[in-house]
Structure 1
Amino acid sequence: MISHIDHIVLTVADIERSVRFYNRVLKMEEVTFANGRKAVKFGNQKINFQLLGQEPRNFARVGSGDLCLISHWSLDEILQHLSAEKITVIEGPVQKSGANGPIQSVYFLDPDSNLIEVSIY
C-alpha cells in the first residue's frame, strides 16, 4: 500500500531559525511552496515547518518530533561536521536497528528539541 514517505511536518517555534539549522547542519535545501510556506528538501523527501496552531487539524507540539535520517557520509565525517557546527551529540555512536537492518547512529537536538538521529548502514 505505502511506497515511501513524501514529506513530514515539524511544529516549530521559529520557521526561519529551523530552516537555517537544517540547511547549515544537515545540508538540506530550502524550499518555499504554497503561499510562502517553508520546508527543507533532501533527495525525494522534504520536511515542512509549521508554527504551533497554524494547522488546525494538527495537534503536535513544538519539539515533539523524532527523526532518523540516513547519511551517505562516514560516521567520522558526520561527527567532524557536527563538531565544526558546534552541535552537541547527546548519544552515540550507537548500534540501532533501521528499516533495512543494523545502523550506527548519533543523536542531537534541533533548535526546538526535536530529536535528530543521523545514521549510516
Structure 2
Amino acid sequence: MQIERLDHFVLTTGNLEKCLEFYRDLLHMTVEETNGRYALRFGREKINIHTRKAEFLPAAACPTPGSLDFCLVVKGPLEKVRKEVLAAGYPVETGPCRRHGACGTMESLYLRDPDGNLVELSVYGNDAEMES
C-alpha cells in the first residue's frame, strides 16, 4: 500500500456558528451543509465538522473540541497574512517563525480557532521571506 494524499479530517466543535465563522470569514474556506452535516472546503481538501461525540459513525474514540494541532499552507507573504489575521481581530499566538514542514523549511505563524485548536499558517519558498 502507498498513501497518496490526505483527503479530509474531522474537527469537533463546541460552537458550530463560531467555528464556521472563523474558517469561512478569516481563512476563506467554503462552508457546505448537506442534511445537517457541515464541511469546510479549500482546494482539494475538506474538514468535516462534528458538534458532539459520535455524531456520525464510525468516529474517533475520544473526540474533543480544541484537541487538534494542524498546519495549513497559505499563499504569502506571511507578513501580509499576519496583518490580515490581526485586522480581523484574531490574536497571533506566535510567529512568524521558521519551521520544518512536510516539504522542507517554511515560515509559520500560529493562532487558535474558537475551540482552542492550534492552527498553524505556513508558507514555503519565496513566499516565506520574513522581515528581520
TM-score range, shorter chain: over 0.9
The answer as to 2:105 corresponding to 1:102 is: yes
Structure 1 counterpart of 2:31, which letter? E
Give the TM-score normalised by the residue count of structure 1. Answer: 0.93
SS in 2 for 1:21: helix
Deviates more, 1:103-112 or 1:9-18: 9-18
Larger Rg: 2
SS in 2 for 1:83: helix
Within 2, Cα distance between the matches of 1:32 and 1:68? 24
Deviates more, 1:49-58 or 1:4-13: 49-58
Within 1, Cα distance between the matches of 2:19 and 2:65? 12
Give the TM-score normalised by the residue count of structure 2. Answer: 0.86
Structure 2 unaligned blocks of 5 or more: 125-132
Deviating runs (4+, > 2 A) in structure 1?
none
Deviations 1:28-86 (A, max 9, x none): 111123x2211110000011110121246322211001110001121121011001111
Give yes or no for contact 1:15–1:38 (8 Å, CA) kept in 2: no
SS in 1 for 2:24: helix
Structure 2 counterpart of 1:32, which letter? E
Which residue is equivalent to 1:21? 22
Which residue is equivalent to 1:93? 96
Offset of residue 16 of structure 1: 2.3
Within 2, Cα distance between the matches of 1:24 and 1:104? 23
Which residue is equivalent to 1:52? 52
Size of the aligned set, in residue pairs, is 120
Which residue is equivalent to 1:78? 81
Structure 2 counterpart of 1:4, which letter? R
Structure 1 unaligned blocks of 5 or more: none
State the percentage of identical aligned residues.
36
Which residue is equivalent to 1:8? 9
Within 2, Cα distance between the matches of 1:28 and 1:38? 12
Which residue is equivalent to 1:114? 117
